[in-house]
């Protein structure tokens, strides 16, 4: 009698687990095709991270965008939700892509993303490497907005290392450079 009761309970547990699994699977497949875009990944990043991640998975499965754009989108998803180590994985892979390497503007934007991650992680050594890389590239390309981002980050590092005067000098130089640009994020990037 005792074995029959245990077998019955065990059977019901298995049935319930299968029903829950089926319901979760049905929910996973319930996204309409109209939501399977990079724009919706960004739209749901903060309000429904799981849905954004689900959309991202479907974008990858369908190869809806070039690989480097998928990596940037997924990196942004993780970065914007404070998951900087995961973001670095995707940002680093995008930075190595031939498409990013061949386009100076996209290359600098991707280096900027790497700087932002290392800044949030307080990894000054890696951040400094990417700041130098961005400064060199931005000077070669004559891109004052990206040069400003690099100089500001240099100033910020010097400031936090205790060399406040030199840090302010770099930050003020960065602000002056940025004021001359029409960079769409010019007010978002120069902050402590």
In a domain, 29, yes or no: no
pLDDT at position 12 is: 67
Question: Tens digit of pLDDT for each residue in 135-168?
Answer: 999 999 999 999 999 999 999 999 999 999 999 9
| 42, 74 contact by CB (below 8 A) | no
Question: Residue 26 above 50 pLDDT?
Answer: no
pTM for the whole thing? 0.81
- Domain interval for residue 148: 103-192
Across residues 119-143, what is the average pLDDT? 97
In a domain, 25, yes or no: no
Q: How many domains does the chain have?
A: 1
Take residue 95 and report the two structure tokens written for it.
């930075």
What's the distance, CA 57 to chain centroid? 15
In a domain, 146, yes or no: yes
In a domain, 187, yes or no: yes
Please give the angle made by the CA atoms of 31, 33 and 37, to the nearest 5 degrees.
Answer: 95
In a domain, 192, yes or no: yes
Question: Residue 73 above 70 pLDDT?
Answer: yes
In a domain, 53, yes or no: no
Burial class (CB in 10 A: 0-12, 13-18, 19+), 57: middle
In a domain, 73, yes or no: no
In a domain, 50, yes or no: no
The single residue listed with the structure tokens 């699994």 is 21
């Amino acid at each position: 009698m005792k074995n029959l009761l245990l077998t019955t309970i065990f059977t019901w547990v298995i049935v319930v687990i299968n029903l829950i699994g089926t319901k979760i699977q049905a929910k996973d497949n319930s996204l309409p095709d109209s939501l399977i875009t990079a724009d919706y990944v960004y739209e749901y990043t903060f309000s429904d991270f799981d849905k954004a991640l689900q959309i991202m998975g479907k974008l990858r499965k369908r190869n809806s965008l070039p690989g480097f754009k998928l990596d940037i989108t997924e990196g942004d998803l993780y970065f914007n939700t404070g998951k900087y180590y995961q973001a670095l994985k995707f940002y680093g892979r995008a930075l190595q892509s031939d498409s990013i390497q061949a386009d100076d503007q996209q290359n600098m934007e991707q280096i900027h993303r790497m700087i932002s991650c290392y800044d949030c992680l307080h990894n000054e050594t890696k951040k400094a490497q990417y700041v130098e890389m961005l400064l060199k590239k931005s000077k070669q390309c004559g891109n004052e907005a990206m040069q400003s981002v690099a100089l500001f980050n240099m100033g910020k590092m010097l400031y936090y290392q205790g060399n406040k005067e030199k840090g302010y000098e770099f930050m003020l130089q960065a602000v002056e450079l940025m004021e001359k640009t029409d960079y769409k994020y010019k007010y978002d990037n120069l902050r402590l």
